[in-house]
Structure 1
């Protein structure tokens, strides 16, 4: 557990996956019990995913996302239909060892001329399908590959350096209303601001519990999962990430993520 004084280890818990084996009430009791202990000293903070955890993401959960997907795609009706459908779009994003964190580089594909960061609220879900915390996720994506054909979605979304996550988890009981959080993103290019945008999670078209319910339909996550909830910040079609850019994402009450681009 990270505190103002440093990092405090949890007794009897080995890694994030061990925490997500606990029920929400058990996890809260453990965090409360550990507060105030002496820190363990200097450590390097990693992305809060390990073991058999998986990172998944939801798509087209904001109106702006629907508009952007329709603008870029050769199959516009696919995104229009999924926005209002009962079943959300969910896709696999990364395994733990592929996730980068604050200060580490995200990447753009060499075979894609149009690439964007996608700032998203991440739901940290335990093995019992309970939301126990929140984090910051950057779902870096190739707009040109996805736009060419929706069946290319895995190639547009899943590649080395395409998933970044803040090094902290904000416990769910410390956030009064997850649907009233401000998400901001700034892309810096040298001394200039190449792009800046903001959105509130109040614009989410899907309920958080409903997204988790669909994630757990048909399969289990024995070490828990992180589910990114989609983006409401999408640049216009004339913007693309470039090597050397720096992406800064912040979510109020949750955390901050800063990554260079390679």
Structure 2
């Protein structure tokens, strides 16, 4: 079954959007930064060889006026003639966790269920009744949050996940190595030894080395709920696997038409369609985030953390799919072949298909390969 084709790759107002990204250029055997102009992909490598440097040194005006060769059209992407890469390269890929009440509840459920999906249903009912309402209204780090923490500690319901959900310090972790993220149309991976996992659709901010927020895109922070539920110390295995990070399709740079306020107000839709006929579709709002995006950026890049090539920051998932799929009461988990679409009107659509991590195309083009390729092309 195919996912609804009526949702396009580009933002609904793409004619007013400054869009940049990366494609694989067969002619040079490597990645090339591009801008989308009139649905055509304009080569930007004459401005700088990497997306990191372009975003660090070039203004939106320079990008819009760039006169590089045309590498194809968006129609070529959708037809499979052009391979779209994740729109970041040298940037560090960071991610925030439990920044929405629903994800905070689900992380606590995983913890109390110790990674067992069969135990999640009753725990979910109990926690929703106990703290669901308060989590949706309390401001992280506030006096009210401190009072809620003290009460839950007394009642035996406190959790390390609630600490980062409503405490003063956000959870920020490294999601994937540089160049490891996959782009639009590529496979995303879950480990074969996981039996409880899900997509995590997120808005991703793109920042330069000075922590200036330059724009936004979409991402899938694929997660293994059973691994992290057994122990938070398994976060690396739950989060960082082959093809477990998808970003794209393109970065929309901020300008007069699109600002951080549009990110704060964005609606994001998750759609999963399985080869078994299963279908899940939900839409939620970034307005439900418990920490402001600027605060999350400030907690990521400060005097204690520097990112000289910039960074991409996942803002946390708005979703925790719980719709039963295989066994009543055990909620959602991926099947191989699931097609996942993450879309937002002002950012476009990120589409990927699920496979086991060890079966996804091997990641072999790392930093050394990139430097050799750029040197051979005379771009360094």
Q: Would the TM-score normalized by the shorter structure come out above 0.5?
A: yes
Q: Does the Cα contact within 8 Å between 1:108 and 1:242 map onto a contact in 2? A: no
**Counterpart selection for 2:337 from 244, 247, 261:** 244
Distance 2:184 2:43 in 1: 21
User: Counterparts of 1:202 and 1:254 in 2: how far apart (Å)?
Assistant: 16
* Cα distance in 2 between the residues matched to 1:235 and 1:199: 12
Q: 1:38 to 1:216 in 2, by over 3 A?
A: closer
Q: 2: distance between equivalents of 1:115 and 1:39? A: 42
Partner residue, 2:70:
40
Residue in 2 aligned with 1:6? 40
Q: 1:243 to 1:191 in 2, by over 3 A?
A: closer
TM-score by length of 1: 0.92
Where 2:194 maps in the other structure, the secondary structure is coil
Q: CA deviation at 1:39?
A: 5.0
1:54 lines up with 2:92 in the alignment: yes
CA contact (8 A) 1:106 1:261 kept: yes
1:28 maps to 2:63: no
Note if 1:228 corresponds to 2:314: yes
String of CA shifts for 1:11-49, please: whole Å, max 9, x gaps: 431120112322xxx522322433xx4752325421111
The alpha carbon displacement at 1:55 in A equals: 0.7
Query: Greater shift after overlay, 55-64 or 38-47?
Result: 38-47
Alignment equivalent of 2:207, drawn from 125, 134, 140:
125
Within 5 A, what are the aligned runs for 1:1-262?
Answer: 1-10=35-44, 11-22=46-57, 26-34=58-66, 37=67, 40-42=70-72, 44-51=83-90, 53-74=91-112, 77-173=159-255, 174-176=257-259, 177-190=262-275, 192-217=277-302, 218-236=304-322, 237-262=330-355
- Offset from partner CA, 1:158-205 (integer Å, 9 cap, x none): 111110011300112242421111100011012734322111111111
Deviation, 1:148, is 0.6
Alpha carbons 1:188, 1:245 under 8 Å: kept: yes
Three-state SS of the structure 2 residue aligned to 1:106 is strand
Q: Which runs of 5+ in 2 are unaligned?
A: 1-34, 73-81, 115-157, 323-329, 356-380
Structure 1 unmatched ranges of 5 or more: none
More helix by share: 2
The answer on whether the counterparts of 2:200 and 2:222 sit within 8 Å (CA) in structure 1 is yes
Query: Counterparts of 2:339 and 2:317 in 1: how far apart (Å)?
Result: 18
CA distance in 1, matches of 2:159, 2:102: 15
Number of aligned pairs?
A: 256
**The 10-residue stretch of structure 1 (167-176 or 88-97) with the greater mean CA deviation from structure 2:** 167-176
Question: 1:231 is paired with a residue of what secondary structure?
Answer: coil
SS at structure 1 position matched to 2:38: coil
RMSD: 1.7
Equivalent residue number for residue 9 of structure 2: none
Provide the rounded CA distance (Å) in 2 between the counterparts of 1:95 and 1:150.
20
